[in-house]
Amino acid sequence: MNIRNAIRLEGEGFDLLPELKKIYFTNGLCLRKALSNNEQPYINRIIFVDCTQKISPALVLRHEKSTVYVAVVNHHDTQREITLLSAGFYGQVVKNSSLVSHLSAIDCLIKGEMHFTRKALSLYIFDMKFKSQAVNSTRMPLDITHKERQVVDCIFKGLSNQEIAKVLNISLNTVKMHLQNIYRKNNLKGRIQLMSSY
């Protein structure tokens, strides 16, 4: 069996892509001739979701092995792409774009790549990194005061002692005093142990 036969295209959004649907059904549910990818496919099922209307911020997709969700949208919008990424979509295609564009998206997905603009992917990754750092700094079970918490939060943002003093509008000696108290109360040897342990 040819690997292209294993790729199923479906979903209510698929109806919004008439050229792709026509080539898919005309070729006996096979995209072998239309795709350039010769690798073993990462996925075998693509579900197209109609996202031409407003997307609910609470939308989260159910992940299934070898299945990816692709949003069909009216136009590119970076903020909307980030919402789609957060909901679990692997890509998006613009409804009225060319057949070549739709096939290119499918080719990317088969290779295990996401199909979003680089700008949206970059912003999403930076946002996730920031949220991860914020979660790490708020979950710490440290014995610290409110002011010491502010110092710790700055440390987890990668700030130096001088930068912490400037951000918190306190002296460099006060920053050092807070750090000594944090280390002493929590049996820590220094900043590196603080960052790696909490």
Tokens 């209510």 -> residue: 12
Closest CA to 193 of 173, 175, 179: 179
User: What pLDDT does residue 34 have?
Assistant: 57
> Is residue 175 packed enough to be buried (19+ CB in 10 Å), middle (13-18) or exposed (0-12)?
buried
Instruction: Give, for all 198 residues of the chain, the pLDDT tens digit.
Output: 344 446 889 989 999 999 999 988 887 777 765 565 556 667 888 999 999 887 655 555 667 778 899 999 999 899 999 889 888 899 999 999 999 999 999 988 888 889 999 999 988 888 877 666 555 544 457 889 999 999 998 988 888 999 999 999 999 999 999 999 998 998 888 887 887 666
171: left (phi over 0), alpha (psi -120 to 50) or beta: beta
Tokens 């990424």 -> residue: 85
User: What pLDDT does residue 124 have?
Assistant: 87
What Å distances lie between residue 29 and 16, 45, 100, 124, 154, CA to CA? 17, 12, 17, 34, 55
With both helix axes pointing from N to C terminus, report the angle between 18-26 and 99-110 in degrees, rounded to the nearest 10. Answer: 70
In whole angstroms, what is the distance from residue 13 CA to residue 8 CA? 14
Closest CA to 71 of 50, 87, 85: 50
Contact call for residues 86 and 124 (beta carbons, < 8 A): yes
Tokens 């989260």 -> residue: 60
Closest CA to 88 of 62, 115, 107: 62
Which residues sit opposite 47 in a β-bridge? 10, 69
In whole angstroms, what is the distance from residue 55 CA to residue 83 CA? 8
Contact call for residues 98 and 18 (beta carbons, < 8 A): no
